C-alpha cells in the first residue's frame, strides 16, 4: 500500500481515478462528491445515470490530483485505480473490475472473504478490501445507506486524505446527529476494513493515460482553433461550430436588455460578466474598445449585466406582453 506521503508525491504529476458502483438511492454520487470535498487539492466528480429508478445500477467517477490541469476531464473514468462497490448484488450483474488498473484496489461492501471475491471477479493482479458496511450502517445509522462507510474503507487502502478530513467534509454536508453518526460509521469502517494485497498485483501505475483520443482537446494540436463564440471543436481537420454562435439563444430569455449609451461610462464590467458574449464592443478610432450595444439574439436575460452596472446604464423590459384581449363580445 502507498503511504500518504508517497501518494501525495505521486499526485503532483498524476491523477487518482476512482469509480463507484451503487444502486439508485444508495448515495454513490454523494460518496463521489465527498471525495472531492475532503481532498486538499483539485478534484472533479461526475455521476452516470439516466432515467433509472431507485435500485437501478449507477456509477459515479472521481478524479483527484494536486495538478489542476489533470482534472479538467469530464469523461467517465475508464481505467480506475480504485473501484468501490456499495451493493454486493452488483457483483453478479456488472463487470465491476472493467478497466481497473493492475495493482489497483477493489473495495466491496460484503461479508465475503477476499480470496473468494478475487476468484469471483477473476483478477489476481488487483488488491481487494472488504467491509461489512451493511451491518455498520444498520448498527449506527439505522438504515442501509453505505456510501460514507465505504469511504472509510477507501481511505484505509488509499490515503488520499485523512479520516479527519473526511469527517470535516461530512460535517459540511450533513447536519447535527446525522453528521455525528456518519463520522462514527467511517471511523468504524476504517478500523474494520479487511485488506488483501495480492502477491500477483504489480505496483500501481498512475501514468496510464485514460483519455480517449477523440475527446481530447488541446491548444496547438492540428485542427485546434479558438472560436470567437461558444462552440465545440474536435481534434481533426473538421471544426463544428455549435452553441450560441449558431443558435438564437436569446429566444430563451424573458427580458430585453436596454442599454443607455448616454449614461454608460465604458467600464466594461458588463462585458466581463456576461456569460454569452452578448455585450457588443468595438475598437474605436482612439484605439480603445467601446461598448456599442447588447446582442438580443444571444442575451439569455440572466440580468448579470444589469446588476453589475455601477451607473444603472442597463435596464430591462419584458419581451412578451402585455396581452391584448380580443375575445368576442
Give the footprint of ligand SF4 on this chain (CB under 6 A): 257, 259, 264-270, 273-274, 276, 278-279, 291, 294, 299-305, 308-309, 311, 313-314
CA distance 11 to 26: 29
**Min dist. Cβ of residue 246 to ligand SF4 (A):** 17
Greatest C-alpha distance within the chain: 89
Q: How many CB atoms lie within 10 A of CB 238?
A: 8
Closest to ligand SF4 by CB, 212 vs 318, is 318
How far apart CA 304 and CA 22 sit, in angstroms, is 39
Q: How far is the CB of 248 from ligand SF4 (least distance, A)?
A: 13
The full DSSP string for 124-191 is SSSEEEEE-HHHHIIIIISS---HHHHHHHHHHHS-SS-HHHHHHHHHHHS-HHHHHHHHHHHHHHHH
Quote the least distance from Cβ 228 to ligand SF4, whole Å. 16
Pick between residue 83 and residue 309 the one whose CB is nearest to ligand SF4: 309
Comparison of 190 and 255: residue with beta carbon closer to ligand SF4: 255
| Residue 323 beta carbon to ligand SF4: minimum distance, rounded to whole angstroms | 24
Please return the burial class of 45, using the count of CB atoms within 10 Å of its CB with bins 0-12, 13-18 and 19+. Answer: buried
Compute the least distance from the CB of residue 259 to ligand SF4, in Å.
6
| E strand segments, 29-137 | 42-48, 57-65, 82-85, 105-109, 127-131
Would you say 94 or 273 has its CB closer to ligand SF4? 273
DSSP annotation of 255: E
Q: Which is nearer to ligand SF4, 165 or 267 (CB)?
A: 267
**Least distance between ligand SF4 and beta carbon 285 (Å):** 19
As a whole number of angstroms, the distance between CA 298 and CA 231 comes to 13
If the CB atoms of residues 2 and 264 are measured against ligand SF4, the closer one turns out to be 264
Tell me the residue length of the chain. 329
Instruction: Give the separation between CA 132 and CA 245, rounded to whole angstroms.
Output: 53
Amino acid at each position: 500500500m502507498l503511504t500518504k506521503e508517497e501518494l501525495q508525491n505521486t499526485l503532483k504529476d498524476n491523477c487518482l481515478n476512482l469509480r463507484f458502483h451503487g444502486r439508485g438511492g444508495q448515495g454513490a454520487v454523494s460518496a463521489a462528491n465527498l471525495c472531492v470535498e475532503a481532498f486538499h487539492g483539485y478534484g472533479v466528480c461526475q455521476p452516470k445515470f439516466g432515467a433509472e429508478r431507485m435500485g437501478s445500477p449507477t456509477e459515479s467517477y472521481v478524479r483527484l490530483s494536486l495538478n489542476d490541469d489533470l482534472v479538467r476531464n469530464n469523461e467517465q473514468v475508464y481505467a480506475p485505480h480504485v473501484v468501490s462497490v456499495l451493493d454486493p448484488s452488483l457483483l453478479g450483474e456488472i463487470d465491476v473490475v472493467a478497466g481497473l488498473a493492475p495493482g489497483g484496489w477493489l473495495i466491496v461492501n460484503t461479508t465475503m472473504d477476499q480470496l473468494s471475491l478475487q476468484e469471483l471477479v477473476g483478477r489476481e493482479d488487483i488488491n481487494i478490501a472488504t467491509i461489512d458496511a451493511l451491518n455498520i450502517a444498520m448498527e449506527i445509522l439505522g438504515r442501509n445507506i453505505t456510501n460514507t462507510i465505504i469511504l472509510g474503507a477507501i481511505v484505509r487502502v488509499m490515503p488520499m486524505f485523512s479520516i479527519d478530513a473526511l469527517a470535516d467534509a461530512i460535517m459540511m454536508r450533513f447536519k447535527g446527529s446525522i453528521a455525528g453518526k456518519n463520522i462514527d460509521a467511517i471511523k468504524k469502517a476504517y478500523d474494520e476494513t479487511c485488506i488483501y494485497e495480492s502477491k500477483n498485483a504489480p505496483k500501481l501505475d498512475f501514468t496510464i493515460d485514460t483519455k480517449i483520443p477523440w475527446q481530447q482537446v488541446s491548444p496547438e494540436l492540428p485542427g485546434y482553433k479558438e472560436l470567437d463564440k461558444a462552440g465545440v471543436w474536435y481534434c481533426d481537420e473538421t471544426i463544428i461550430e455549435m452553441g450560441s454562435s449558431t443558435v438564437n439563444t436569446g429566444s430563451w430569455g424573458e427580458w430585453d436588455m436596454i442599454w443607455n449609451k448616454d449614461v454608460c461610462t465604458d467600464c466594461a464590467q458588463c462585458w466581463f460578466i456576461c456569460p454569452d458574449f452578448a455585450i457588443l464592443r468595438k475598437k474605436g478610432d482612439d484605439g480603445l474598445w467601446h461598448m456599442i450595444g447588447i446582442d438580443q439574439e444571444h442575451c439569455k436575460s440572466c440580468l448579470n449585466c444589469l446588476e453589475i452596472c455601477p451607473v444603472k446604464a442597463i435596464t430591462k423590459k419584458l419581451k412578451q406582453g402585455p396581452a391584448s384581449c380580443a375575445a368576442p363580445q
